[in-house]
Structure 1
Amino acid sequence: MNSTVNSSRAVQNDFKNVFIRNFIVVFFGITINYINGIFVFIFSRSPVFYMESKYILYIHLVINDMIMLTITVTLHVMVYAAPLVNVSVCCILLLLGTMTARNTPMCLAGMAVERYIAICKPLRHSQICTVRRTYTLILLIWLVTFIPELADIIILLVTRPLTFFTSRILCISLNIYDTPYHLNRSMASNVLFLSFVWITLIYTYFRVFFAAKSATTDAVSAKKAQNTILLHGVQLLFCMMSYVAPLLEINLVPLFPSDRSKIAFSNFLVSNILPRFLTPFIYGIRDQKFVSYFKKYISVCTVKVGLVS
């Protein structure tokens, strides 16, 4: 009798923990996407932003984060609600999720370069950072992040029978891309991507830093650009947690075996949710033009609500 009661309580506690974790993830996912959605709406309704490369790059980062968050939260909930997923469907979800996750550091690098050109080469900024080149850069970012994922799928087609794609599996990357070829490809591309982004951020930060010391440069704008690039670095550090998280779990779980799920959940929040929470603040809320249009949007909504009531 006692064993039955204890098992029943254990099931209830497990259900409670799972519900709380999924609620937190979904709540933050919806909240961040709602805030980002407001900025996308403001951008789409304000042609003044269409001709400036920094706003185009920012809104691309926002949309990219919204896609990434939606897929990541969906996969997190599916692990508990519907753990077994068709492999083909899982591959598509992982493809989009991984591409958008890799897009973020590349976008940060592109935005840092744009700020560097605006501060250090102001007379050539309008010639270099054209709208057409900005969209070309965005297309190039998606192409560069797609190539490694395409390589993973090709390796999977070569190493697995076709029946594998019709089977059902727990939709986790390591459950599908588990061959030594996948691990070597992942390690090589991660080092290449992150090295490129860090070198870009460090180079642009110090160039803007020295430009801020120059008497010929707008010190206020240079200081703001310097802080923006520094925030990009902080955001990138959190994004890198997605690469460090597996190592943390491997080392922490043996020390705290009873807290394995808590460790995994904490890693998920820090590496996937928190970096996307920073995006609206780095450019959106810190940018005076965006803030002015945001206030207009809020005031219009307030007036409409008042008229309805």
Structure 2
Amino acid sequence: MTKPMADNNSVVAGEVSLVQFNDKVIIVQILVMMFLFINSLLIMTFFRKECFYTTARYILFAVTLLSDSLILVISNILLILNHFGFTIQVWMCVIISAVVLLYMRVTPVTLTAMTLERYVAICMPLRHAELCSTRSTMHCILIIHGLSSVPCIVVLSTFFASASFSLYEQHRLCTVEMLILYRWQSHVRSAVHEFYFLIMAIIIVFAYVKIMKVAKAASGEDKKLSWKGLRTVILHGFQLLLCLIQLWCPFIETAVIQNNVMLFINVRYSNYILFGLAPRCLSPLIYGLRDETFFNALKNYVFFGLYKRNI
């Protein structure tokens, strides 16, 4: 029979002095607040102009902003709770973990949909208005959430099948890894996630090749638009790569904690910064700052607010 996985939370809470990591927690708070502030400005700018909330790529961009902001808030709350050793009942942690698992997948799946939108806009411009209408985009958002919920359902199903009823009433430090009770559950989760990212990687490469062919054959303004779309696809691919690396982090952390608890804390902190926060700060860069229309609207919104305050 497969042996249960070790409870990493109890080891860390029992052997590591929490006071030592105050500086790291403060750095995370600064980064999270900064990203949330930028995301809030972008979201408010999105809702101020009709051309944004009626255009497919901007609607999908807003979905990534909202999902990233939600993940930042929840993961930061869990970080603080774990840092100070606060425990909650397992059933409550299961609900929180379900939300985290869902919206951690929403962003990469939405990025894939945004890549397909760029492919349609550049390679099939005559059908873009039909395929990427506001109505179609709303249906796409429902499909995105449906696809993103499958890994979450798989993880929760394996947990419900393995956990005893008494476990739900226990108080523990809340992490998503708490849902993994046995090694085979970890393998199932990894297989599902890697299958998803394989499909998304194929879509990214397919769109890249098609857009590159159009870019080489285009001329003038069309050529400029095509190469800009190509750079956007490359950035989406880089974001997906960071998200994929994040899936491997639990395996690295599990191996490290067997040998050195202090090293485990440092590795987990680095993974959270590089593969948890970094991919979620790229979305504002790709569409919020690189997009000329959106960036001009953002500047007008920010300066108008400051001007009114001075008056």
TM surpasses 0.5: yes
Deviations 1:120-171 (A, max 9, x none): 0111100111111111111111112223322333333332232221211121
What is the percentage of aligned positions where both structures have the same residue? Answer: 25
Q: Structure 2 vs 1, CA of residues 184 and 261 (structure 1 numbering), >3 Å: closer, same or farther?
A: closer
Residues 159 and 181 in structure 2, CA contact (< 8 A), matched pair in contact too: no
Paired residue type of 1:51:
T
Deviations 1:47-75 (A, max 9, x none): 12122100001111111100111111111
Aligned counterpart, 1:117: 120
Alignment of 1:90-239 (within 5 A): 90-215=93-218, 218-239=222-243
Query: Given the alignment of the two structures, is residue 248 of structure 1 paired with residue 252 of structure 2, yes or no?
Result: yes
TM-score (normalizing by structure 2): 0.89
- 270, 277, 291: which is aligned to 1:273? 277
SS of alignment partner, residue 83 of structure 1: coil
CA distance in 1, matches of 2:122, 2:79: 41
Aligned counterpart, 2:81: 78
Residues 241 and 270 in structure 1, CA contact (< 8 A), matched pair in contact too: no
Aligned counterpart, 1:53: 56
Alignment of 1:21-36 (within 5 A): 21-36=24-39
Gaps of 5+ in 1: 1-12
Residues 151 and 193 in structure 2, CA contact (< 8 A), matched pair in contact too: no
Paired residue type of 1:172:
T
Aligned counterpart, 1:68: 71
Paired residue type of 1:299:
F
Residues 148 and 185 in structure 1, CA contact (< 8 A), matched pair in contact too: no
Deviations 1:229-286 (A, max 9, x none): 1011111121122112123335556786643321111111111111111110011100
Tell me how large the CA RMSD over aligned residues is. Answer: 2.0
Gaps of 5+ in 2: 1-15
Q: Structure 2 vs 1, CA of residues 289 and 188 (structure 1 numbering), >3 Å: closer, same or farther?
A: same
Residues 155 and 179 in structure 2, CA contact (< 8 A), matched pair in contact too: no
CA distance in 2, matches of 1:275, 1:95: 20
- 265, 284, 289: which is aligned to 1:285? 289
Aligned counterpart, 2:4: none
SS of alignment partner, residue 88 of structure 2: strand
- Deviant stretches of 4+, over 4 Å: 13-16, 250-258
Structure with bigger gyration radius:
1
SS of alignment partner, residue 178 of structure 1: coil
TM-score (normalizing by structure 1): 0.89
